[in-house]
Amino acid sequence: MTFKVSPGPKLDINKANTHILPPFTLIEPGSLKELLEVKAKYGEKAAILAGGTDLLVKMKLRILEPEYVISLKKVRSELSGIRREGDEIVIGAATLLRDIELNDSIMRLAPALFDAVIVMGGVQIRNMGTIGGNLGNASPAADTAPPLLVHSASVKLLSTSGERIVPLEEFFTGPGRTVMRPDEIIYEVRLKALGKGCGSAFMKIARTAFDLAKISAAAMICVEDGVIKEAKVAVGSAAPTPVRARSAEDALVGKAPTPETFLEAGKAARNDISPIDDVRSTAWYRRRVIAPLLHDVLQKALGRIGV
Amino acid sequence: MGRFVSFTLNGKPVRVYVEDNEILLNTLRYKLGIKSAKYGCGIGECGACTVLVDGRAVLSCLTLTTEVEGKEVLTAEGLGTPERLHTIQKAFAEHAAVQCGYCTPGFVMTAAALLKENPNPSEEEVREYIRGNYCRCTGYYNIVKAILAAAKELSGEA
C-alpha cells in the first residue's frame, strides 16, 4: 500500500520558515574512499554533514554557506562505533553522542566523557549529534573537549594523501578553527581508558543543562598511597579553545587529595585561562568560579577511584 | 537540485521528490499531510518538531529529508488517531497536559521514545528526558504527570 502523495504546494516550502536553509548541492559518497576524494576535490567549499545540529543551524543563521554539503549517510556505519584497543578506547567520528552515553565501557573507563555527553542538549540533539562533529565544530564550549583532553585523546585525520594522528591538545587553534586541512576529515577519536587508582569527572556551569556552558571543567586524577600521582585538568569556555590547566595539575601532583588541595588547584588554574565577556557570562565570573568548580570536579573524580 | 527519497511514514511506504536543502519537517507538513510536527524555533532549541526516526527522537527541522532514505519515520498521526488515541495521547488529554497545544505532539513523541526505552521511568527520569522540549504554557507539571500515568498504564499497573 502506498501513502497518497499530494501534489506539491504552490509556495516554495523552503521559504516557509523563519530560519531557511540556503541552497547547496548535496553529495552522498558511497564509500570512505569516495568521501575523501570528494573532500579533496571541493575542500573549503564543502561542509560535512554528520548530525546537522551545528552545521544546519549555522547555515540557517548564514554563519556558513557551503556550496556543497557532503552527507555521511552511506558511510555512517564505517565511521561509527566504540571499541577497545589495549588501554585505549576508539570512537568513530560519526558515533552519536547518545550511543556514547549508552555505552557501558564509556561510563566505566571514561566517566568524564559520560558526564559531558549526558548534559549535551536534549535527547533529540544527542540522537543526532556526533563526537567528530562536536570536535570539528571547534567551539571553545565543546562539551566533549575537556573530558577528552584529560583522557589524553588524539584525533585521527584522513585524507587522500594519508592519515595523521593529532593530539587533541594541538587540534584546536581558535574559536571554530582547527589544524585540519580542507581536504581532511576526522576519522576517529582515541582516548586513554582510566587506569587503576584513577578517576575522572566533568562538570559545567550553564543557565540550564540544555544550554551551552558558561564554563566547564574536567579532571582525571590517580591516587597512590594517599598521594596524587598523576593529574590532568582541562577547562572549556574560558579561552579561545578548550585548554589544559597545567598550573592546576602542578598544584595537585604530590599532594594529598584533600578539599584544600583541590581548591588551591582551582585557584592556580586562573593562570591557565584567558576568559572574555560574552553573551553567556563575564570574564570576572569565570575567573571567580573556576576555583570552586575545579574543587567540585576533582572531588567527583576522587569519589570515582576504585568504583 | 532535487531527488526522490523513499522511506516509511507511520508504517506506510512513501516516495517523494525533495530539494537538496529540504528539511524533513517541511516535507512532512507540506507534501505528506502531516500536521502534528510543528515548526517552533527552527534551530534545534524547542523540540516542537520532534519525530521518531527508527525509534529515536530527532528534530525534523534539523534533518534533511534525504537523510531518512530507507528509514522509518513516526509522527503523532502514526501513534494514534482521534478515534483511537494512543495511551500517551489519552493521558495528555486526561491530565490536561495541553494548553495551547503547539508543543504537544513533540512532547508526545519524546514520551513515546522514552517509554519504549524505559517503561518505568521515575519522575526525575521523565523530566530529564523531556529537557529538549519546551512548553511555554503549562510549566511541565501536568505533562510529567501524564507521562508517568501513561507509563503505568502501558506497563499494566494502572
| A77 falls within a domain | no
Same domain, B64 and B115: no
Same domain, yes or no: A46 and A142: no
Query: In the predicted model, what is the mean pLDDT of chain A?
Result: 94
CB burial of B79-94 (b: ≥16 within 10 Å; e: otherwise) equals bbeeeebbbbbbbbee
Range of A137's domain?
82-192
Chain A interface mutation, best of B14, B25, B50, B64, highest count of A Cβ atoms under 10 Å: B64
B76, B102, B127 - which closes a domain = B76
- A232 inside domain: yes
Are A212 and A260 part of one and the same domain? yes
ipTM of the modeled complex: 0.96
Q: Give the pLDDT confidence of A167-201 residue by residue, as tens digits.
A: 999 999 999 999 999 999 999 999 999 999 999 99
Same domain, B72 and B126: no
Residue B9 is assigned to a structural domain of this protein: yes
Instruction: Give residue B15's domain range.
Output: 2-76
For residue A9, being part of any structural domain is answered with: no
For A56, which residue in chain B has the nearest alpha carbon? B62
Whether B52 maps to a domain, the answer reads yes
Place of cell 521559504: A15
**Residue A233: which of A218, A247, A216, A223 has the closest Cα?**
A218
Residues A116, A159, single domain; the answer is yes
Check which CATH number belongs to the domain holding B127 and give it.
1.10.150.120
A1 touches chain B (CB under 8 A): yes
- Co-location of A120 and A180 in the same domain: yes
Residue A184: which residues within 8 A CB-CB, separation 6 or more?
A39, A157, A158, A159
Does A294 map to a domain?
yes
Domain boundary among B19, B54, B76: B76
Q: How far apart are CA A214 and CA A207, in angstroms?
A: 8
Asked if the structure places residue A158 within a domain, the reply is: yes
Query: Is A6's pLDDT higher than 70?
Result: no
> Residue A298 falls within a domain, yes or no?
yes
Please tell me the total count of domains within chain B.
Answer: 2
Which amino acid type is present at position A242?
Answer: P
pLDDT in tens, A58-115: 999 999 999 999 999 999 999 999 999 999 999 999 999 999 999 999 999 999 999 9
Question: Given an 8 Å threshold on Cβ–Cβ distance, is B13 in contact with A1?
Answer: yes
Question: What would you report as the CA-atom Rg of chain A, rounded to the nearest whole angstrom?
Answer: 21
Same domain? For A174 and A254 the reply is: no
pLDDT reading at A17 higher than 90: no
CATH number, residue A240: 3.30.390.50
Q: Are residues B24 and B66 in the same domain?
A: yes
Q: Taking a C-beta distance cutoff of 8 angstroms, is the pair A234, A244 a contact?
A: yes
Whether residue A9 is predicted with pLDDT greater than 70 in this model: the reply is no
- Residue B7 and residue B67 in one domain: yes
Residues B40 and B64 both lie in one domain: yes
Contact with chain B for residue A21, Cβ under 8 A: yes
Distance of CA A185 to the CA centre of its chain: 15
Residue A307 has pLDDT above 80, yes or no: no
Per cent of chain A over pLDDT 90 is 89
Q: Is residue A209 part of a domain?
A: yes
Evaluate whether residue B82 is within a structural domain. no
Report the first-to-last Cα separation within chain A, whole angstroms: 54
In a domain, B26, yes or no: yes
The model's pLDDT over A120-149, given as tens digits with 9 standing for 90+, comes to 999 999 999 999 999 999 999 999 999 999
Q: Grid cell 528539511 — which residue?
A: B23
Q: Does A60 touch chain B (CB under 8 A)?
A: yes
Residue reference for cell 530527532: B58
- Per CB-CB distance under 8 Å, the chain B contacts of A207 are none
Q: A89 and A61, same structural domain?
A: no
pLDDT, residue B13, reads 98
Q: What is the mean pLDDT of residues A225-242?
A: 96
**Domain match, A219 and A245 both:** yes
- DSSP assignment of A233-258 equals EEEESSSSS-EE-HHHHHHHTTS---
Alpha carbons within 13 angstroms on the beta-carbon side of residue A101 total 19
Q: Indicate whether B71 and B98 sit together in one domain.
A: no
pLDDT attached to residue B23: 97
Same domain, B94 and B122: yes
Distance of alpha carbon A231 from alpha carbon A224, whole angstroms: 12
In this structure, are strands B72-74 and B2-9 parallel, antiparallel, or unpaired? parallel
Mutate to test the interface with A, among B23, B110, B114, B115 (most CBs of A within 10 A): B23
Chosen for mutation from A5, A64, A123 (greatest number of chain B CBs closer than 10 Å) is: A123
Q: Could B21 and A22 be called an inter-chain contact, meaning their C-beta atoms sit closer than 8 Å?
A: yes
Where helices occur in chain A by DSSP H, the ranges are: 32-42, 55-60, 97-101, 104-109, 111-118, 123-128, 131-137, 145-150, 168-171, 246-252, 259-268, 283-303
CATH of the domain at B6: 3.10.20.30
**Count: domains in chain A:** 3
Nearest Cβ partner for B30 among A9, A24, A52: A9
Chain B residues close to A128, C-beta within 8 Å: 58-59, 62-63
**Phi and psi of B153, rounded to 5°?**
-65, -45
> Which residue of chain B is at minimal alpha-carbon distance from A209?
B131
- In angstroms, the CA A265 to CA A268 distance is 5
**Does the distance separating the beta carbons of A17 and B132 come in below 8 Å?**
no
Instruction: Quote the radius of gyration of chain B (alpha carbons, Å).
Output: 15
Inter-chain residue contact A125 with B132, CB threshold 8 Å: yes
Question: How many angstroms separate the CA of residue A272 from the nearest CA in chain B?
Answer: 32
Of B76, B101, B126, which residue is a domain's last?
Answer: B76
Q: Which of B14, B44, B66 sits opposite A71 (nearest CB)?
A: B66
Query: Is B14 in contact with B32 (CB distance < 8 Å)?
Result: yes
In a domain, B81, yes or no: no
Tell me the CA distances in angstroms from A67 to A20, A64, A159, B36, B45, one per residue in order. 15, 10, 20, 32, 26
